[in-house]
Structure 1
Amino acid sequence: MSVNVPEAILDALTDVEMPRLPPERGATETMRVGGWDIPVHRHGCVVVGSGAAGLRAAVELRRRGCDVAVVSQSAWGGTSACSGSDKQTLHTANTADRGDDLKAMARAIRAGGAMDADTAYVEAVGSARAMASLQYLGLPLPQDRFGGTLRYQTDHDEVGRATSCGPRTSRLMVKVLAEEAIRLGIPLLNQTTAVRILTAGSGAARHALGILAIRPRHRSEANPLGLVLLECAALVLAAGGPGELYRDSVYPNGCFGSLGLALEAGIDLVNLTESQFGIGTRREGFPWNLSGTYVQALPHIYSLDQSGAEHHFLADYYRSTRELASNVFRKGYQWPFHATRMLDFGSSLVDLAIHRETSAGRRVFMDFNRNPLPVPGSAPFGLDDLDEDARSYLATAGATQALPIERLRHMNPLAIELYRRYKIDIAAEPLEFAVNNQHMNGGIAVDTWGRTSLAGCYAVGEAAGTHGVTRPGGAALNAGQVFGTRAAEDIAARGLAAPAAGGIAAAAEEGVAAIRATLRPESPLGLPKIRESVQARMSEHAGMICDGPGVASALAEARALNAEIEARGIASGRAAEAARALQWRQMALASEAVLAALDHFIAQGGGSRGARAIIAADGEAVPRGRAGALEDYRFRTERAAQRGEQIHLRREDGAIRITTRPNRPFDEDAKSFFERDWPDWLTGRIYEPGGG
């Protein structure tokens, strides 16, 4: 039996129309800086980024009476609003059958290691509140007839804490939060690219003063770059992850994130060794993750060589048709590449096989009109000849139709409708895809309130490096909502969001001078050259397959590039290119930082973990294909002790400094007591180091 969902319902969950921006407020004054006349906006808090996490922080700040504004490079154009998968997951508390178990959820969130236990518990406790408030704002999460939220199993989630309202879940989150921000009258400066964090003081007294940004509408003879100055007492970085860092990426184009901004400002970063890689369509067309029912529908996967000949390449890796099909199915809830799943003919052998095909110049496709072809010498494909997890799932879902496209249409018609919106009809033609970079688990180091190492500066969403090595699928959406709320609570409770009162002139002069030093029309370094250099280096040496010599060589090249940029600047022939030139300067810094962290990790004996395999001739593990060992991919296994620590990094005096520290603990046996603990809440001591 097929589900017959009316077209109007599919349209509403696929074509999510975003709200119109309200008229903008003008600048409060103009300041003469470096010989230019720069408009000035003053607010208690400025949020950089208009995705789900940034809007959550802004909404919660305004609800607490704070003066807050949002700046966005492209409103509703970032990762939250424009990316996802067929079931874009919101990971929340509540196990499949036993009710809320926040400690168990916290353990699942931090299970991969290199994550603070108190942060994991904060995310677990805050998840129910985050989901309930989104539902209150109108997020259409599915329910059963008794009001229970429908849930399913996802990556690194063994009990089913995932829920979804379709492939546009995060876009719908942005929509309801944007509507609330507009209702609350929060000003949003669109087409505004933050290019420099301004600070004052030194040592422990160093603090954020605001940002310099570029707005094309402000370009004039008196302000040739279109600079704008935003002064604030509190700054929230919520501009997402470094999507432009990799050539092979599923991020929307133009996502630069906040890592480079933070590096330039000397802010601590953490866990830059940890990213996620998995199958998705190429960013040259419509970038989208191929998890969930795309693979659970069991399409035929094949490659084409340069002559157009078709190759059933997965048959070279799996010993039987049943084993092949069952592991394609498992990519639905084991979507990210994981080194250990290359072993024992597991699901990440699919990723490795695809990686090898594309590295050899072949193009890889899914065909939803063909079932998986048999492995030579093995039985033909059959739905009754799958491993138990795959067979029972499809039977329970009622997905027993003859062809993959029919099974997909039954389980998730939105998955088909989504690609059709972008002129790709997967019901009629094969879908090209590859293994791509999808998410940075590391980022800016924060405490349990979202505070960074720079006083007055916070980081939330993918900008914040809270995730450790692995995370349950969708936990990033949850973390952004929880920490957006937490940062707002801390800023409001500590009175940081009072309107800024001036005193930024000296920092602004320094910032403008630094921008001018980078933008040099005579420089031989143009944007295409820097982009190609950074993205190729990262994709080829810092992807899911790494090796020590390759990372060390790439790091040397990244350092040389940054030294050249420092000495010669970046060619920016037109004012319109200025913002992009400064962002690529930041991407070059972020690239060096990631490679420096990886080089340190490998040099310390770091093994394969999360979404990276560290290839080494003396590695203890080797994946096997149908014909035998794949010795070229022998890898180091994970070092268990390294799960208990994190790699921290900051840029000082032009050099990157790396340290490690143990994960912060959490006492699961500690119990609160109302009369004893209430005063800490009433007096604000919960916001102090140590929690009161």
Structure 2
Amino acid sequence: MDQSTWIDQHATGHLQVDGQSIPIVTANTVVVGTGAAGYCAADRLVMLGQKDVVMVTDKRRAGASRNAGSDKQTYYKLTLAGAEPDSVREMAETLFSGGSMDGDIALAEAAWSPRAFFHLVESGVPFPHNASGEYVGYKTDHDPRQRATSVGPYTSRTMVEKLEGRVKDGHGIPVLDLCRVVDLVVEDGAVVGLLCVRLDVGADHPSRFLLLRCTNLVYATGGPAGMYADSVYPNGQWGANGAALRAGVHGKNLTEWQFGLASIHPRWNVSGTYMQALPRFVSTDADGGDAREFLGEFLPDYGDQLTRIFLKGYQWPFDVRKAPEGSSLIDLLVYQETKLRGRRVWLDFRANPAEEHFDASKLSDEARAYLDATGVTGLGDSTPIERLQHMNRPAYEFYLQRNPGVDLETDMLEVAVCAQHNNGGLEVDQWWQSNLAGFFPVGEAAGAHGVYRPGGAALNSGQVGATRAASYIAQARTEDPVDEGTFASAAAPVAERAASLLKEAGARAASGTDGTDELLTRIRRLMSDKAGVVRSRESVAQAREEITALLAGYEATIAADLDSRRSVSRLFLIRDILTSQYVYLNAMEHYVASGGLSRGSVLYTDAEGDLPVVDASVSAALPELFRLRLDAGKLDDVIQVTSWDGAADPEFTWRERRPIPEHAEAFENTWRTYRENKNIG
């Protein structure tokens, strides 16, 4: 049965708006997004007894969890092997120590990490264990233990595929594809539905829109990836935070992003073995000529340069604390080449840095010991490609298999400092419910993390958050959706505005040109240039002024070809991105105005600060743009909360972060309350 037929057969009514006959599909819970968090939520809902579930997505095979990864993509969980001590409380404290993270969320993510992990194992994700059944681990960034595990470059993809099989084949949950979020439908402080634009039908269809009436909305839309041009998010991952912010959902720690070195064709993190193989860093002009190594300009000592490159392997995210004297200076030197000098940067695995013979004795003890343990030093005078293939041949083969393919034996790999993850997002409580009743952001859409987080913690957070949201819904939010009349009253103005935007944008395109592609490129480039990994009070203000004007005039000026499904999609996508950019930029301005300094994965230019330290023999000076003062944890105990009514300017407050709960009840008391309500509420 095709999708239009399914919708026609399952529609519980229609809303007539400006010539559109919009079908209404009704369910207790609608899950938006078909990544690892979305499929987990749908699977858990059915397992817990709530079978009245519909899933919607803008593109089923797109999204970060299905298409992103690294040389060895990490999943973070409680220690499940060996004699090294660990505990739920200790893992919670590790997460909490990242700064500006709520303690109840940290405890929930630690306590339910085994439950989430073993659900994946039983679903068929092949996490490795030893002969005795211990799920062995390794240490990842910001991890004091060895809690990390992996199934290789495609850990999250494997998770998606296994969970998708359970949802589609095991539970038969309908998945409505090519439905892009337009707006939430809200009534009296609660979500009651969702409006989507359908990309599976053309202009001749009775309606380009779909309404979903529901009691609960699980929002697994991923991070707002469309905000930045320099991005390692996979093509097709855009996010939909703008719709939630327009509906009054609070934002949390919106300023906190994670940036890192990534290849751009194809998009992929160059972490782990890609750095530990010690490639050359080469820059060229825009046409690929005038090739030269550039790290030596500021890191002339051979051993120091190679050690910093090596450390980027497991210190992959840009960390401003490691910029003054550590491995993150490399990110800044790449940024200088690309953003300030207008050049392109490449990793070259064909020859050693400085075209010297490889000499492991000049590396730091830490780097040399690692390369000894992996057998690299036994290769003798090796090249980076020989070291990469020896340590991790699948990492080499990965680029051969991508589109476009890159053979690292013969070709250089173009890289940039890219946006990779929004550690902030939409505010949630310990059951992942937002301030809007019935609205549950999960996965990267949820602002569940602190300023820093261990590598792989996002995958655990998505699974735990989805499980907790499903648990709450199945226990406490089983009622039917609002009645048809109430829903129609709430949905009509939302649908009318969307239909008007579609109609008027089409009329402008009929007498002019489609402006969606050009505008999308412009606003994403603006964010990367003015509010990316390096930003200042002035650059953020400039970006905010431009985005504010574009958002204010968007509905009256944008033109979109209604015969092009791509243009119709981008008509609503750009509005969502502009909304997110507007609110996020205001949050950045508020952060700086509140005395916020460089922290996490962001450098805020500060005229009163210091430049990163370089070799004393270097005569060249780093640009003033890199002058910084470290936050040193002064805002770790508070959280920036954003609220916006869609009309006036966003409002911001600082609240104390919630502490890690102390549970000292007797077993019998916990057992009694669990029998009453499963301790949900």
Q: TM-score, normalised by structure 1?
A: 0.91
> In structure 2, what is the equivalent of residue 327 of structure 1?
308
> In structure 1, what is the equivalent of residue 659 of structure 2?
665
Are 2:627 and 1:627 aligned?
no
8 Å CA contact 1:317–1:349 kept in 2: the answer is no
**Within 1, Cα distance between the matches of 2:677 and 2:492?**
37
Q: Which moved more, 1:592-601 or 1:300-309?
A: 300-309
**Within 2, Cα distance between the matches of 1:497 and 1:329?**
55
Are 2:670 and 1:677 aligned?
yes
Are 2:578 and 1:588 aligned?
yes
1:68-88: CA deviations, max 9, x gaps? Answer: 111111113111001111111
Q: Evaluate the alpha carbon distance shift between residue 124 and residue 549 of structure 1 in structure 2; reply closer, same or farther with a 3 A threshold.
A: same
8 Å CA contact 1:143–1:150 kept in 2: the answer is yes
TM-superposed deviation, 1:218: 4.3
**Given residue 199 of structure 1, which amino acid in structure 2 is its aligned partner?**
V
Are 2:498 and 1:518 aligned?
no
1:176-220: CA deviations, max 9, x gaps? Answer: 00011011111111112121111112xxxx111111112233446
Runs of 4+ in 1 over 6 A off after TM superposition: none
> In structure 1, what is the equivalent of residue 361 of structure 2?
384
1:600-640: CA deviations, max 9, x gaps? Answer: 11111111000001111112554435516535111122053
Structure 1: segments with no counterpart, 5+ residues = 1-19
Are 2:45 and 1:57 aligned?
no
Are 2:560 and 1:572 aligned?
yes
8 Å CA contact 1:300–1:368 kept in 2: the answer is yes
TM-superposed deviation, 1:667: 4.0
> In structure 2, what is the equivalent of residue 14 of structure 1?
none
**Given residue 471 of structure 2, which amino acid in structure 1 is its aligned partner?**
E
Name the SS for the 1:681 alignment partner. helix
**Given residue 325 of structure 1, which amino acid in structure 2 is its aligned partner?**
L
8 Å CA contact 2:62–2:236 kept in 1: the answer is no
Please show how residues 279-290 of structure 1 align to structure 2 within 5 Å. Answer: 279-282=261-264, 285-290=265-270
8 Å CA contact 1:197–1:210 kept in 2: the answer is yes
Q: Evaluate the alpha carbon distance shift between residue 217 and residue 354 of structure 1 in structure 2; reply closer, same or farther with a 3 A threshold.
A: closer
TM-superposed deviation, 1:97: 4.7
Are 2:388 and 1:408 aligned?
yes
Name the SS for the 1:624 alignment partner. coil
Are 2:297 and 1:316 aligned?
yes
Name the SS for the 1:635 alignment partner. coil
Name the SS for the 2:258 alignment partner. strand
Match of 2:540 among 518, 526, 551: 551
Please show how residues 130-141 of structure 1 align to structure 2 within 5 Å. Answer: 130-141=116-127
1:119-178: CA deviations, max 9, x gaps? Answer: 111111111111111011110112222222232222222322211111111000000000
TM-superposed deviation, 1:405: 1.8
Structure 2: segments with no counterpart, 5+ residues = none
Name the SS for the 1:384 alignment partner. helix
Match of 2:354 among 373, 377, 381: 373
**Within 2, Cα distance between the matches of 1:105 and 1:84?**
24
**Given residue 420 of structure 1, which amino acid in structure 2 is its aligned partner?**
L
TM-superposed deviation, 1:113: 0.7
Aligned residues: 655
TM-superposed deviation, 1:43: 0.8
Are 2:332 and 1:338 aligned?
no
> In structure 2, what is the equivalent of residue 444 of structure 1?
426
Q: Evaluate the alpha carbon distance shift between residue 411 and residue 120 of structure 1 in structure 2; reply closer, same or farther with a 3 A threshold.
A: same
> In structure 2, what is the equivalent of residue 195 of structure 1?
182
Name the SS for the 1:680 alignment partner. helix
Match of 1:294 among 274, 278, 281: 274
> Percent identity, aligned pairs only?
38
TM-superposed deviation, 1:685: 7.1
8 Å CA contact 2:62–2:235 kept in 1: the answer is no
**Given residue 550 of structure 2, which amino acid in structure 1 is its aligned partner?**
L
Name the SS for the 2:55 alignment partner. strand
> In structure 2, what is the equivalent of residue 11 of structure 1?
none
Please show how residues 645-656 of structure 1 align to structure 2 within 5 Å. Answer: 645-655=638-648, 656=650
> In structure 1, what is the equivalent of residue 374 of structure 2?
397
Are 2:519 and 1:536 aligned?
no
**Within 1, Cα distance between the matches of 2:678 and 2:128?**
39
1:8-46: CA deviations, max 9, x gaps? Answer: xxxxxxxxxxxx99x956433441321321222111100
Are 2:489 and 1:506 aligned?
yes
Name the SS for the 1:248 alignment partner. coil
**Within 2, Cα distance between the matches of 1:97 and 1:335?**
28
Q: Evaluate the alpha carbon distance shift between residue 498 and residue 338 of structure 1 in structure 2; reply closer, same or farther with a 3 A threshold.
A: same
TM-superposed deviation, 1:340: 1.6
Q: TM-score, normalised by structure 2?
A: 0.92
**Within 2, Cα distance between the matches of 1:326 and 1:621?**
21
8 Å CA contact 2:247–2:646 kept in 1: the answer is no
Name the SS for the 2:528 alignment partner. helix
Match of 2:130 among 144, 147, 150: 144
Q: Evaluate the alpha carbon distance shift between residue 63 and residue 256 of structure 1 in structure 2; reply closer, same or farther with a 3 A threshold.
A: same
Match of 1:175 among 158, 161, 167: 161
RMSD (Å), alpha carbons: 2.2
> In structure 2, what is the equivalent of residue 45 of structure 1?
29
TM-superposed deviation, 1:498: 4.3
Name the SS for the 2:373 alignment partner. helix
Q: Which moved more, 1:84-93 or 1:654-663?
A: 654-663
Are 2:254 and 1:272 aligned?
yes
Name the SS for the 1:642 alignment partner. coil
Are 2:601 and 1:611 aligned?
yes
TM-superposed deviation, 1:361: 1.9
**Given residue 43 of structure 1, which amino acid in structure 2 is its aligned partner?**
A
8 Å CA contact 1:24–1:187 kept in 2: the answer is no
8 Å CA contact 2:181–2:240 kept in 1: the answer is no
**Given residue 174 of structure 2, which amino acid in structure 1 is its aligned partner?**
P
> In structure 1, what is the equivalent of residue 86 of structure 2?
100
**Given residue 284 of structure 2, which amino acid in structure 1 is its aligned partner?**
L
> In structure 2, what is the equivalent of residue 461 of structure 1?
443
**Within 2, Cα distance between the matches of 1:89 and 1:506?**
46
**Within 1, Cα distance between the matches of 2:613 and 2:103?**
32
1:553-594: CA deviations, max 9, x gaps? Answer: 21111111111125x152222152223211110100101111
Q: Evaluate the alpha carbon distance shift between residue 314 and residue 620 of structure 1 in structure 2; reply closer, same or farther with a 3 A threshold.
A: closer
8 Å CA contact 1:461–1:484 kept in 2: the answer is yes
Q: Evaluate the alpha carbon distance shift between residue 172 and residue 222 of structure 1 in structure 2; reply closer, same or farther with a 3 A threshold.
A: closer
Name the SS for the 2:211 alignment partner. strand
1:401-453: CA deviations, max 9, x gaps? Answer: 32222222222221112111122111222211111111111111000100011
> In structure 2, what is the equivalent of residue 7 of structure 1?
none
**Within 1, Cα distance between the matches of 2:284 and 2:335?**
14
**Within 2, Cα distance between the matches of 1:80 and 1:613?**
27
Are 2:58 and 1:73 aligned?
yes
Match of 2:195 among 212, 215, 220: 212
Name the SS for the 2:600 alignment partner. coil
**Within 1, Cα distance between the matches of 2:6 and 2:416?**
41
> In structure 1, what is the equivalent of residue 99 of structure 2?
113
**Within 2, Cα distance between the matches of 1:620 and 1:421?**
44
**Within 1, Cα distance between the matches of 2:220 and 2:666?**
35
8 Å CA contact 2:59–2:236 kept in 1: the answer is no
Name the SS for the 1:515 alignment partner. helix
> In structure 2, what is the equivalent of residue 4 of structure 1?
none
**Given residue 462 of structure 1, which amino acid in structure 2 is its aligned partner?**
E
**Within 1, Cα distance between the matches of 2:459 and 2:482?**
31
**Given residue 84 of structure 1, which amino acid in structure 2 is its aligned partner?**
G
Name the SS for the 2:394 alignment partner. helix
Match of 1:232 among 214, 224, 228: 214
Q: Evaluate the alpha carbon distance shift between residue 410 and residue 145 of structure 1 in structure 2; reply closer, same or farther with a 3 A threshold.
A: farther
8 Å CA contact 1:445–1:453 kept in 2: the answer is yes
Name the SS for the 1:364 alignment partner. strand
